[in-house]
Structure 1
Amino acid sequence: MRLDKFLKISRIIKRRSVAKEVADKGRIYVNGKLAKSSSEVKVDDTIKIQFGNKVLEVAVEALHESTKKEDAAKMYRIISETRREDNEN
């Protein structure tokens, strides 16, 4: 499944266009490698996303073509969620 689609369906990022923009700005890593919005995501991959001063790292648990709001959180498991200091790059 495409990275931008996974982020939207899992509701980590609300809109696919926003997910694409974040990926294309170099703020998303899949398994430690810089990812594009078109990068393929598989079960057991780790995704690290930089949102401003917050860094979210998740593990992909399941892939679904569509999902209900209450089932979206079952598609991933949060590994870590940290805040970045202003002096970090």
Structure 2
Amino acid sequence: MHESPASPESQRLDKWLWAARWFKTRALAAAQCDRGRVQVNGHPAKPAKEVRIGDVLRIELERERREIEVRQVGLQRQSAPLAQGMYLETEDSRLARERQAELRRLSPEPQASRQGRPSKLDRRELQRMLDRTLD
């Protein structure tokens, strides 16, 4: 039996994520879906899940979570400015992302400034700190 193609009101999740430029390839989008890092309307979604206009997606990227609402479907991959019109980030998500960026700016990770192995002085300072915590 021949299956009918998806209607223009819906699109495969992995294809939509790729077209909206959330991931560089469809394979990466599918892998993130399989790992449970993409949710549709609050439920983990497989790559073949059909998304529709109005669906809310939660996407976990490296350091942040984004919550977006689908605005357009059925489009091929386009330029970045046009792809941004395919979705709208929720206000809560935008505020949380800005808050996290501000926290990262104010308190950078200590290891971010380090390069290579610790020096002899660094090792001695670490040992002193460990000795104090164990006492």
Segments of structure 2 that go 5 or more residues without pairing to the other structure are: 1-10, 101-135
Matched to 1:78, the amino acid is E
The aligned runs of 1:15-34 (5 Å cut-off) are: 15-34=25-44
Deviations 1:20-73 (A, max 9, x none): 000000111100011111111000000001113210111000113314303111
Q: Does 1:9 align with 2:19?
A: yes
Where has structure 1 moved over 6 Å in runs of 4 or more? Answer: none
- The TM-score normalised by the length of structure 1 is 0.85
Aligned residues: 83
Partners of 2:68 and 2:89 within 8 A in 1? yes
Moved more, 20-29 or 72-81: 72-81
Task: Name the structure where helix makes up a greater proportion of residues.
Answer: 2
Task: Name the structure where strand makes up a greater proportion of residues.
Answer: 1
Structure with more contact order per residue of length (Cα contacts < 8 Å, sep ≥ 6) = 1
Q: Does 1:51 align with 2:51?
A: no
Percent identical residues? 33
Q: Which has the larger radius of gyration?
A: 2
What's the offset of the Cα at 1:13?
A: 1.5
